[in-house]
Structure 1
């Protein structure tokens, strides 16, 4: 039985008070301090939309949901994980004022069971349409884990969605993204504390009291020495983390090797580490094992592909270290093996690229949780499936995870809707996106033309299906969910 609270009419600003991270309020992470990219002014208020009906309740599994329905609905409903979790910023009120309905859930019940979060998005859409009628366009809009969930829901339920804006999502997939994160901590441990009990996988439930403090102490101590900083920088580069992820610091100059190394340390120690403990612990609890592996990984070859500018080699020289010796140590280190049954649990989150609707991704150059390199995997998968015409990817020159300005979010929604309504993408280069952001009158934007590097630790749907077949493990899914397929690469002419 679905439980719901009474529907009530509220002002647009009040109706959005539980507006979640898929329309995140402008935060400190949206304000990089850089001469090249000045901090945008926070936009805390906006014109209040017309009256909005708000419905709140719980889905069948107990997950809270929220629906905001504007008085003059334009026929589009935007749905995302975390919608019902946190207060909004000016992006929410602007979209409500334009007639968009907003709806979604929280992750409090499902957590990293992404296939369940994807199903909850469909259940929320069903509730919305039962109350207000069929939407002209149902669109996913999510960020971070909500962005990953949006991509999973599009793949699992392709007939239900007209499109998606995916912000700072883990688009290298449920396994690939965690292989890269594993690499960062594995390399750091093997070079800084190889005899320690610091966990890379098998993260205990009490990680906040045990694993996280132990890791933080070891890395903080190492970072104070040139040798330790060089090794942390190597680990961060192997994980393809950005050199700038702290919005409180200026963007490092290309010629400032120390600042760049410190930026890599910020990304590993003060961004990735906590997520690598908290999220991996939950994923392992839900899936019953480890979903990522570094078997067969040649870290020397990986570094050669990633350190084209020689930053790591120069840091090693200045610290008086022998890079070849450390790479040899990594080559000798015992590898970590994934559990096929755990991979089966996250199977719906491995992307095959077979888009059935237009998708716009929005990513920050300085995001250490969803690094820009991970976006290139998604682009490659979509292109190989012959669906490249349906995808556009845009970037902001900003630091921090998901710290987008209201103008950047709303401009992204507008751009996707132009593609849905007309069947043709508008220009999505930085200049055009900046113009679209300016048209919102919601403040500054930081769009930049950018091509991400190749994601080195990819894990595609063909690998997934081979691994599960060999292990005789059935992929986990809910009724009605499509599974990823092994797709033969298509030529451009087949798009």
Structure 2
């Protein structure tokens, strides 16, 4: 199996980091808007209220604008220059060549949980576009990872501004993601580091608490019981045992446990653990995460990863039951009510004022597939289920899509927007459409391996697990 452990680079992969390697450098904060005209069209960069933005308008604009919302950048990370306009630079190239205008804000502050800023900054870019370029005939809100939730929320808040929504590897229930991280860290601290001074929220020394959790993980991997308890943490979080982008889903127990552990380590301890919470808590005005009232025995019973943990315990039901009793008895963590409300208000409601197309990996452990099932239920409650189509690509990792996957998905959405009817969305139809692109567009995104992977089309049928920790 190919190594997928890219340490900090891998962490960024899991959180939906977009490296805008093909984008021109953005204007410095406070700089005047710069415009460059070529035979291919016009390029604009600048700042609005401190947020860098970029707009590309092809010479033969077809009247459609795609507004892109980027994913989560870990606080304090050294960022490359430029404002990304799509998940893939190849996608950006294809869209411009086919007459689509592209726009995006980099969001005020750029890193951290910038959802509230993004919802204002993206509308500011739309206003700028209307004033300086013209009002689009069709506007699509698109986004990846955290940006997928931003894209959907934008259409709910500004229904007259958007005609369609495309989300890629998105999360919509933000508190659910942070609660999953809390649950995983809670299991590790309770079962693998009892008595250690580890702050899971509002950490006095975030780096130290993170180091202690990682040390507990490393120690646990040396024993059969320790590995079983890590699998219990993974089951409580509904974390899949598939991390590798190019490799098939593993069937061997050891490989599944190792790949599940990669998600736990990089996404939920290093990414959304104590060191990642400071920015979230500062923005929310307190700790928005909780496990008060959570029945971990019930969560485990409903987990899609329950059987993996049972196998890891080797059938020792007594030990598993004892560990679940320990989780039930350990001290719990309460959310600050105001902070919880602040994050919940940023999550989507599923009102579908415009058609929505979602694309997700079946083996995504960063933005869990559960989020797609949760969003579909929200649409059934609050929107029109006929306005939603959800597509699945059978790969591990987070946002593991090719430019061709992304382009085919966008064309599928635009057909619905322009005709009022969904065209064919069967895996066979979608895979045939992807296969018609040349090799340049079929390389699958993998931030731990920058060239990406030449992989065959992989749209499939899939039913996501139920969300174990929905916020509402």
Q: TM-score, normalised by structure 2?
A: 0.83
Query: Relative to structure 1, is the Cα distance of residues 279 and 157 closer, same or farther in structure 2, using a 3 angstrom cutoff?
Result: farther
Partner of 2:150: 149
Identify the residue that residue 75 of structure 1 maps to in structure 2: 63
Residue in structure 2 matched with residue 7 of structure 1 by the alignment: 35
Q: Tell me how far apart the structure 1 counterparts of residues 229 and 150 of structure 2 sit (CA, whole Å).
A: 34
**Mapping for residues 1-40 of structure 1, pairs under 5 Å:** 3-10=31-38
Contact 1:162 1:357 (8 Å CA) reproduced: yes
Q: Deviations over 1:346-404 (max 9, x none)?
A: 24323322110011111112222101111110000101224111111111111222131
Q: CA deviation at 1:163?
A: 1.1
Report whether the alignment pairs 1:387 with 2:387: no
Q: Name the SS of the counterpart of 1:346 in structure 2.
A: helix
Answer whether contact 1:183 1:235 (CA < 8 A) is retained. yes
Q: Following the alignment from structure 2 to structure 1, what is the Cα–Cα distance between the partners of residues 108 and 353?
A: 29
The answer as to 2:137 corresponding to 1:133 is no
Say whether residues 1:326 and 2:327 are aligned partners.
Answer: no
| Secondary structure, aligned partner of 1:230 | helix
**In structure 1, C-alpha distance between the alignment counterparts of 2:246 and 2:424, rounded to whole Å:** 32
* Bigger shift: residues 409-418 or 217-226: 217-226
Assess if the C-alpha contact under 8 Å between 1:53 and 1:71 holds in 2. Answer: yes
Show the counterpart of 2:118.
Answer: 117
Gaps of 5+ in 2: 1-28, 72-81, 443-455
Partners of 1:328 and 1:186 in 2: how far apart? 13
1:247 shift after superposition: 2.7
CA drift of 1:459 comes to: 1.6
Matches within 5 A, 1:44-83: 51-60=40-49, 62-82=50-70
Determine the C-alpha separation between the residues in 2 that align with 1:78 and 1:4: 23
Conserved? CA contact 1:272–1:368, under 8 Å: no
Whether the 8 Å contact between 1:227 and 1:319 is mirrored in structure 2 is no
CA contact (8 A) 2:304 2:465 kept: no
- State the partner residue of 2:277: 280
Secondary structure at 2:466's aligned position in 1?
A: coil
TM-score, normalised with respect to structure 1:
0.79
Distance 2:47 2:318 in 1: 57
Matches within 5 A, 1:49-448: 51-60=40-49, 62-82=50-70, 84-86=82-84, 88-107=88-107, 109=109, 111-171=112-172, 173-203=173-203, 207=206, 209-247=207-245, 250-253=248-251, 256-277=252-273, 278-306=275-303, 310-317=307-314, 322-441=319-438, 442-443=441-442, 444-448=456-460
Q: Counterparts of 2:306 and 2:230 in 1: how far apart (Å)?
A: 17
| Closer/same/farther in 2, CA of residues 242 and 63 from structure 1, 3 Å limit | same
Out of 453, 456, 462, the position equivalent to 1:450 is 462
Unaligned 5+ runs, structure 1:
11-49, 461-495
Alignment of 1:476-491 (within 5 A): none
3-state SS, counterpart of residue 310 of structure 1: helix
Alpha-carbon shift at residue 265 of structure 1 (Å) = 1.1
- Contact conserved, 1:244 with 1:399, CA < 8 A, in 2? yes
Match of 2:453 in 1: none
Shift of residue 263 of structure 1? Answer: 2.1
Asked whether the equivalents of residues 119 and 153 of structure 1 are also in contact (C-alpha less than 8 Å), the reply is no
CA RMSD of aligned residues (A): 2.2
Q: State the distance in 1 between where 2:389 and 2:57 align.
A: 29
Gap change, CA 1:249 and 1:318, over 3 Å in 2: farther
